Structure 1
């Protein structure tokens, strides 16, 4: 798509009407608010649903298995974004992808809400994985369509959008988490389904008036010949996978551990292939190739960051359930409530960070330097959570404020890296691969959680200090290296700041 086409899209969007930002930000803010309400509400109780005993309404899986499944599930959710980005760029556009993705997510939560067996649980996971892959990267990509490339409001707009994400994520663990852990997991999942339904209604009602042409175009449409070829390959691939599963699973050749290893390999292999394909594409200009090279170290830094942050729903969720005092200051605390700490701090701090970046103006730190700060804070958050074991051992329950402090520190890093990364992706993306580059950004999270699925098995009370210390130390070291080489990365960005 040419710059003139992009300007036509910007001109079609009412540019004032939501806190000084385009009106379309309202539509996307509340669509993502309700989608995140459903997703994080479900996620707040999912790991407990997996490892709680059947008599308590759970599936009764071993804890290490539940933690690994949680990481694999998270990895596949973000990995599927590459499919969602491709579908948007080549077939149906970003707006339609958001709509159909929301429907699949809602159906997945409905499947979880039905009391059943492990196979029904797997079906629900497949639906949510595919739906989130369609919705999440594309709704963020539409936010980028609302602004001119040089619009000073762009970073601030993404910060406001990011706050909407976290408002939904903050509220849902208190509602879905309390209902799920105190009454019924399946009733909790029902509330998650209702949240996604509300998000779909908001999107359908307000998109025509507020979004203009944003999300309505297909960036790189398939020709009729290409469509026939793609659908043939897709059908053949589905058939081959079905046959392989029918042979490998019953014979014990495809075990859970091997599946985890396979996802781990794909988490690294898929983004590598995508970088190479976009870099070598004739549709990618010389300037865009330089920007892609600059994007690689940012992607690696993002993987390291999310490898720590995403353990909030696995290792730290287990830590909240097993190692934390849940009766504190006269209050009985649900372990699911700690999942609200991360979004709570983002809600409080996101406006401050958004204001701060604008206030700095030309003195703003470069994108690579902001990423390095994100890694430093992420590493420190794991150093914080190892201190209780160092000071009091691993046998006694920990004051919940330690866990709250760890979530607070990692949020400082998240606000340096995540909204900045979303904005940088829309700036650095080749024009022909706009939605797919956003999907590539989310693949950094997929790669991180694929790695986590391999390492969560090493977490035990007796290895707690080593586990947090090694991972936290690696993040701090990588942050220092990134800060040092940031001028080289900035040079390759070819004028993008």
Structure 2
């Protein structure tokens, strides 16, 4: 039963009925995202005779890397647009519609890559509007003081994410098998259409949540924003047009240029926070310095972890016997291992963190996450060594994804939590977007690591990445005590300030 409503109001597992609307929308949006993700790299690297784009695996890896990076990077401006112009409800609606159009563009069965590029651009734009704002709407379904039900509601919401992430590779991968790529893209479009339909039909259950922007722009500010946006689009378009006209444009260089830009973003942002005139207290400054360490650790983690839809997918396709329990599977099916293990292990890790309490701090958990990620790539190096003599069992990848999920469950939820705790008061509303930038940096740099294969064997490539993660874990472990002290200074100051600082 929902607080403040009639006694007969329907609920969703005891939660506001609006949660069902957002649950279904997010589940189908994740179906479309993970479905595309499961086949995108292999589609790009497939020969034109098989309906693909004929890119090298290195180039496909780089392009998918910056695609994933931009998806997370645009969460910051997407949240701002909702807060200042559209409101969260309309931002999610328009975001979902733009995503659907992107998948439709990719589903058009033509040999040119222009519709693919347009499709990816639309999906990136739409995700920036939908991804941060649908989560914000879940939180707003509950009264401010109802933390327990809100946490439980988010748990149900994330269940929808994992259902979509698990089912999508199975269905989309099966449809796209044998060069039927555009059929797979069509399934992703249908998934987003179903999510939009549920969102529109369930609008009444949201009861006005997200209808209005939190801090609407004045008419003068809107004109300035429209002008700035138009200038930015024209400048970027002109630069790309000149680059293409010069005959020097190629996807590898473009991906590298975007990666460099993405790397500049967090450097500039942290510099702005620490050196700008924001009246940071000593505790806030100490907390931010500690957070930069954790941010770098997270970026290294995602650099390896998000090679799943590229490097590990190609390994599944080219190096493994795609048979599980005597049943033939597609390479895309291997992308379902990760969400399956997450769904199974989330309750285990949630109970473990409660049992360990404050004895294991956030930096300790980041160390564990990096080490497990590194260990998974040690396993990949061994698998690659064995695969040099012929195809190996796909169970090697099952093991790799299982080890990685141990790390992910120590990194992802803890990262969100520590980000909100260490955010300076002046940046409370922006810092969760900064966490997404860590994923963006990791994805972009990870996409560039495929270049290393030009200079080393596949086993050595995996060992090199494993070495980076394990070395980062060792360095972070050496400074855990100092980081705990810096974080403690932030917490002590916030506690002494009382409710005003919370």
TM-score (ref. length: structure 2): 0.87
Q: Which segment is superposed worse, 360-369 or 164-173?
A: 360-369
2:102–2:122 CA contact under 8 A, matched in 1: yes
Q: Specify which of 185, 196, 205 is matched with residue 189 of structure 1.
A: 185
Contiguous gaps of at least 5 residues in structure 1? 1-9
1:276-287 matches, within 5 Å, as: 276-278=271-273, 286=281
For the structure 1 residues 461 and 340, does the alpha-carbon distance in structure 2 shift closer, same or farther, using more than 3 Å as the test? farther
Deviation at 1:103, TM superposition (A): 0.9
Instruction: Give 2:413's aligned residue.
Output: 419
Tell me if 1:127 matches 2:122.
Answer: yes
For the structure 1 residues 13 and 45, does the alpha-carbon distance in structure 2 shift closer, same or farther, using more than 3 Å as the test? farther
1:41–1:176 CA contact under 8 A, matched in 2: yes
Instruction: Give 2:377's aligned residue.
Output: 382
2:419–2:435 CA contact under 8 A, matched in 1: yes
Tell me if 1:396 matches 2:387.
Answer: no
For the structure 1 residues 297 and 388, does the alpha-carbon distance in structure 2 shift closer, same or farther, using more than 3 Å as the test? same
Tell me if 1:449 matches 2:446.
Answer: no
Tell me if 1:164 matches 2:156.
Answer: no
Contiguous gaps of at least 5 residues in structure 2? 496-502
Q: Secondary structure of 1:87's partner?
A: helix
Deviation at 1:194, TM superposition (A): 1.1
Deviation at 1:159, TM superposition (A): 4.5
Tell me if 1:308 matches 2:304.
Answer: yes
Q: Deviations over 1:106-158 (max 9, x none)?
A: 00001111112111111101101111121112223334445658935666654
1:36-185 matches, within 5 Å, as: 36-116=30-110, 117-145=112-140, 148=144, 151=147, 157-182=153-178, 184-185=180-181
Deviation at 1:402, TM superposition (A): 0.7
Tell me if 1:249 matches 2:271.
Answer: no
Give the count of matched residue pairs: 485
Instruction: Give 2:219's aligned residue.
Output: 224
Q: Secondary structure of 1:115's partner?
A: coil
Instruction: Give 2:294's aligned residue.
Output: 298
For the structure 1 residues 209 and 425, does the alpha-carbon distance in structure 2 shift closer, same or farther, using more than 3 Å as the test? farther
For the structure 1 residues 207 and 237, does the alpha-carbon distance in structure 2 shift closer, same or farther, using more than 3 Å as the test? same
The structure whose RCO (Cα within 8 Å, separation 6+) is larger is: 1
Q: Secondary structure of 1:344's partner?
A: helix
Instruction: Give 1:487's aligned residue.
Output: 484
1:300-379 matches, within 5 Å, as: 300-327=296-323, 329-357=325-353, 359-360=354-355, 362-363=357-358, 365-379=360-374
TM-score (ref. length: structure 1): 0.87
2:323–2:394 CA contact under 8 A, matched in 1: no
For the structure 1 residues 477 and 304, does the alpha-carbon distance in structure 2 shift closer, same or farther, using more than 3 Å as the test? same
Deviation at 1:334, TM superposition (A): 0.7
1:68–1:454 CA contact under 8 A, matched in 2: yes
Q: Secondary structure of 2:457's partner?
A: helix
Q: Deviations over 1:419-478 (max 9, x none)?
A: 232344444445665553332221111111211222112236962222111211222232
Cα distance in structure 1, aligned partners of 2:4 and 2:447 = 44
Deviation at 1:101, TM superposition (A): 1.0
For the structure 1 residues 443 and 479, does the alpha-carbon distance in structure 2 shift closer, same or farther, using more than 3 Å as the test? same
2:287–2:487 CA contact under 8 A, matched in 1: no
1:89–1:434 CA contact under 8 A, matched in 2: no
Cα distance in structure 1, aligned partners of 2:330 and 2:254 = 32
